[in-house]
Amino acid sequence: MASNDIPSNKIHTPVLLERCVELLAPALEQPGAVLVDATLGMGGHAEAILSRFPGLTLVGLDRDTEALAIAEERLKGFGDRVHLVHTVYDGIGEALDGLGITEVAGVLFDLGVSSLQIDRVERGFSYSKDAPLDMRMDGTAGLTAASILADYSERDLKRIFQDYGEEKLSARYAKAIVEARETTPFVRSAQLVDVITKATPVVVQRQGHPAKRVFQALRIEVNQELAVLERAIPAALERVQVGGRIVVMAYQSLEDRIVKRALAAASGSTAPAGLPVELPEHKPLFTLLLRGAELASDEEKAINPRATPVRLRAAERLRRAAA
């Protein structure tokens, strides 16, 4: 069955949907509001939000052409209220410029690998099922997990496993991969899982699947997820209007750290230390809507297990910087 023939509501349960709507609502209720769903996926959040705010215009961004096709079908009933753009989310500024939109009422990010990408075995994101070592979120991009495993030096493999997977055995795994590829190139995920498992002490294997962090690191490197996110959050904040809101869901600590840092910078005073009075131009541009990162409730986790690792952060723009 072709992907577009599968009912999207059967393969995607939006994470923290009600909480996201609650946080965005004060901004989206305004006349002429525009929301950017920067990680549209199959349109689960978008469909619900468009239904609840009949005056809303939605701009949906995604690098995954398969997801965009599913979302387009799902959202076609909303007509010209929906504009879909094939781009990585750090292209938010260019996407809005292309539509003639300068500011938006809200921005929503649902980071990490999507339900579609996890569920499509042939995309190669899962270490639990054998598939080609692809891991591209954008099937039109060039770099794949297989090409990384074939071409990267032992030193570079160790670096990405350590930096992007926070893997303690990064050196051991990099060495094992370089040795194994001398005889057989890595083309399928089962090969990689086998090499990693054999290189993992039994006591470590008992602590969880040994390939989990390596697969995460490869996925991040293939899609340049952290570098893109470093650019995307400031670009999104720049487009939020006064009274507008940004809501971000992250699923692992590396992503959340970037989001936390960007929102903290935007919501902090720029007044020099020791200044007796904070001048208006030094006042924060944003205010945080949550104390720290909010986690999914036990009820949410039971309904949607993919919400288990989520960390939710949100902010509202208070003012524009003086020109």
83 is in an annotated binding site: no
DSSP assignment letter at 130: -
Containing 58, the helix (H) or strand (E) segment is: strand 57-62
CB atoms near residue 239 (< 10 Å): 21
* Other Cβ atoms within 10 Å of 288 Cβ, number: 17
Q: Vertex 35, ends 117 and 62: CA angle to 5°?
A: 25
The answer to whether the annotation marks 30 as part of a ligand binding site is no
Distance CA 196, CA 173 (A): 6
Distance CA 137, CA 64 (A): 5
Give the Cα separation of 156 and 148 in Å (integer).
9
By 3-state DSSP, what share of the chain in percent is helix, strand and coil, each rounded to 5?
A: 50, 15, 35
Please check whether residue 284 is in contact with residue 318, taking contact to mean a CB–CB distance below 8 angstroms.
yes
106 is in an annotated binding site: no
Residue 43 marked in a binding site: yes
Backbone angles phi, psi at 132, to 5 degrees: -60, 145
User: Is 117 flagged in the annotation as binding?
Assistant: yes
Token pair for 278: 């904070």
In angstroms, rounded to a whole number, what is the distance separating the alpha carbons of residues 323 and 321?
A: 6
Q: Give CA separation, 168 vs 83, 160, 165, 215, in Å.
A: 44, 12, 9, 14
For 201-268, give the secondary structure using H, E and C. Answer: CHHHHCCCCCCHHHHHHHHHHHHCHHHHHHHHHHHHHHHEEEEEEEEEEECCHHHHHHHHHHHHHHCC
For residue 110, the one-letter residue type is: D
Binding residues: 43-45, 62, 89, 110, 117
* Annotated binding-site members for S-adenosyl-L-methionine: 43-45, 62, 89, 110, 117
